Structure 1
């Protein structure tokens, strides 16, 4: 009897499998992305081109050792390169490889690289306009550190401009203090001056990719210190009563006070792990954070000990009372929640790993989820695609509480939640929406 029962069970399972033959035959790996990527984390319809342009930023100053003591700044000829990605006519040609040399203090230089999808200097699509997204990296970062995110956004019909802020190299305590002091001053000024020149190029049509730009639809993405600059660029004036803001030399402080009274002409703000909300180095008063009036997406790890998630990032999010905003949270993640999946020597110095990697989350998984939500948010806020709100207005704050009932033996083959799975995070596969939170707050009426 027992043998017959077991045989019947085996036969039933075989029949279930036969009835789901498509599951067996269909691969779970999709072109361009791992099969686990959520729906909008997969490449868009456009081929991508890439190019670099240099920008001269007038009227800038620099904090030197003597300037930090005396308060007198030196004039600086500040010139920054900006990497552009844009929808291209053809994808033919050798794709870009992005290389960067990291120089950890007291350590040997480390060359890291990543292979891209974009074709250098490819002809731009010239028969339509696209929104512009300006990107700003963190302290010690560089322009192609997030090239995977930039290329992904461009493939969905955006022009992406990533600033290389050229932060002062660090070789000891003194240079660390000076470099960080200059970053405090430079980030929003860089963002403002670079964007002004890009929009001027768009108006003149002097660059092929620039002629594609829809100057009325501009978004800003900032990570860490780039997020610090972006919050000011979005219209939140700095508060200079706390350290380290109170230590900024008077001339530079005056410049920051003047420019941060006015927001950039942007419609959408995304901040990854933004610096400046933590109590021991708070850069804003709560009422000034509330002056931001555009939609905001904050993305952070709930174990971020660099910018203090609980008292820093959450404080910023909760006090952005003038905006409709979302906050995506990676549980058990620290500060490095965005950035390319770099292959590092496992015997290499740990300083490089610590700067680029997360202790718990895989970089490729973070990338896919970031791409999914960033695309939804930008489409909603810059392209006016109201349907993309469904990806952000998730049914449960905690993704682990998502529900998607399935029958015994039912095989979904990577099917992503759609309109019929109203109790599951849209665009995520069954069982794959885990470890996340999405918080939503509306502007104060």
Structure 2
């Protein structure tokens, strides 16, 4: 009897260790990757039918104003380099785990030196594209200041799996690796977006490019976060106010270059590109600083989706993103609000390295929210961006049900599991 009593806990321990080993083996075989759906993820967060390929391309925007050296002598123009990452639908069987090389920190900061880290995605480097009967719509993604082209891989990979070609920009002078004067971001953000659109259109016609017959640049969405949202609003037709252009011009060494992007300026009006059908602006910066007035915001005439935290302390909410949403009176627009979230409504979750002892708190706060689980935010963003782009770029009329509904009548939002839409608000206003 004594021997049997001793064997019971020993056998129980062995069974526990075996089950733990199996569990760990399964976890190792299929680790959680940014963007993977949580159990409470809404319906459209799931990946689409395509495997995903990814390639890196270096572009050069020639003869651009060298705003950071303006007035210091020498040539006022330079060739502006832009590195972009392109995710695209790939042939079946090529979806693999991929490791992305990233850094945290701030270029030139003694308190926040650059720290390299890696994180996983689900894509295959240089995979063969999955060409379809028609080319795929284009999505351009623009990060904040500072950030990188890898800041929103949970969304870029997800959209590529659903039949979009997604190009994310490393905005020179605004990444973790090369952060420089803010004037460059103020001037170049919208110019970078338009240049990349033109380059994608050019490459789609180039015989030796993998983008040949793959991308439809005439059917484009622009997604921007923070300063990327600032650029997206401008590109969509939201001309800067004359007062803002004068102020920022004085910051930029006396240059009045931003006057060319102001409301009513003929050069700006001519630059509004009909190939851009919609924008998605996460926490767009600038409204609190007087960047736009009523006339400027009225210039946005394409559908728009704004996403914000109600406690955003960087871009503002009532006098920031929500004010932009309310002022864009000629746009059919939606506003998704994360109640009590702050500014970080768009990035990947914090990397494990940000949690290590001794790290500057800003390495964590660059990615995290104090209230919301970033993985949860990622899934919700995937759902609503999929619905919004599906309606406007792919003509999926059935997706309108996920965007337009009476919230008071719905105990569960369309596409959401019961009791999982808590903490969210979704507003919609039609164009005038």
Please report the TM-score for the alignment, with normalisation by the length of structure 1. Answer: 0.81
Matched, 1:207 2:195: no
| CA distance in 2: counterparts of 1:170 and 1:154, whole angstroms | 25
Whole-angstrom CA distance in 1 between matches of 2:192 and 2:422: 37
Q: Indicate the residue corresponding to 2:55 in structure 1.
A: 51
Please tell me whether residue 359 in structure 1 is matched to residue 362 in structure 2: no
SS in 1 for 2:420: coil
Structure 1 runs, 4 residues or longer, greater than 6 Å off: 70-73
1: CA distance, partners of 2:430 / 2:73: 42
2: distance between equivalents of 1:71 and 1:394?
58
Aligned to 2:387: 376
Q: Which residue of 1 aligns with 2:24?
A: none
3-state SS of 1:428 partner? coil
Q: 1:100 Cα deviation (Å)? A: 1.2
SS state at 1:241 partner:
helix
Identify if the C-alpha distance between structure 1 residues 315 and 195 changes in structure 2 by more than 3 Å, giving closer, same or farther. Answer: same
1:169 offset after TM fit, Å? 7.0
Match of 2:152 among 146, 158, 169: 146
> Which whole-Å CA distance do the structure 2 matches of 1:44 and 1:378 have between them?
14
Please state if 1:440 is matched with 2:417: no
The equivalent residue for 2:123 is 118
* 2:248 counterpart residue number: 245
CA distance in 1, matches of 2:93, 2:119: 18
From 127, 134, 139, the counterpart of 1:133? 139
Cα deviation code 1:181-207 (max 9, x no counterpart): 110001001001111111111133542
Provide closer, same or farther for how the CA distance between residues 113 and 123 of structure 1 changes in structure 2, counting only shifts above 3 A.
same
**Cα distance in 2 for residues equivalent to 1:52 and 1:203:** 18
- Whether 1:191 aligns to 2:193 is yes
Give the structure 2 partner of residue 427 of structure 1: 415
1:98, 1:113 within 8 Å by CA — same for their partners in 2? yes
Seen in structure 2, the aligned counterparts of structure 1 residues 114 and 259 have a Cα distance that, compared at 3 Å, is farther
Tell me if the contact between 1:90 and 1:123 (Cα under 8 Å) persists in the aligned partners.
Answer: no
Cα pair 1:236 1:260 within 8 Å, conserved: no
SS state of the match for residue 111, structure 1? strand
CA contact (8 A) 1:131 1:214 kept: yes
Q: Which runs of 5+ in 1 are unaligned?
A: 1-29, 404-423
Question: Is residue 281 of structure 2 the alignment partner of residue 271 of structure 1?
Answer: yes
Alpha-carbon distance, 1:170 to partner: 8.5
Q: Deviations over 1:228-265 (max 9, x none)?
A: 11111111222231374342443523543565323122
TM-superposed CA distance for 1:168, in Å, is 5.2
C-alpha RMSD of matched pairs (Å): 2.5
Residue 81 (structure 1) aligned with residue 83 (structure 2): yes
Q: Structure 1 residues 73, 251: CA separation in 2 closer, same or farther (over 3 Å shift)?
A: farther
Q: Is the 8 A contact 1:390 1:426 kept in 2?
A: yes
Kept after mapping to 2: 8 A contact 1:170/1:179: no
Contact 1:142–1:166, Cα closer than 8 Å, also in 2: no
Which runs of 5 or more structure 2 residues have no equivalent in the other structure?
1-31
- Aligned-partner Cα distance in 1 for 2:239–2:285: 15
The TM-score with structure 2 as length reference comes to 0.83
Change over 3 Å in CA distance of 1:155–1:168 after alignment to 2:
closer
User: How far apart, in 1, do the equivalents of 2:239 and 2:70 lie?
Assistant: 27
Selected match of 2:93 from 91, 94, 101: 91
The CA deviation at 1:290 is 0.8
- Name the residue aligned to 2:22: none
Matched, 1:163 2:169: yes
| Contact in 1 for aligned 2:143/2:224 (Cα 8 Å) | yes
Aligned to 2:406, the other structure's residue is in SS state coil
Give, in angstroms, the shift of residue 113 of structure 1. Answer: 2.8
SS of the aligned residue for 2:181 comes to: helix
> For the structure 1 residues 377 and 201, does the alpha-carbon distance in structure 2 shift closer, same or farther, using more than 3 Å as the test?
same
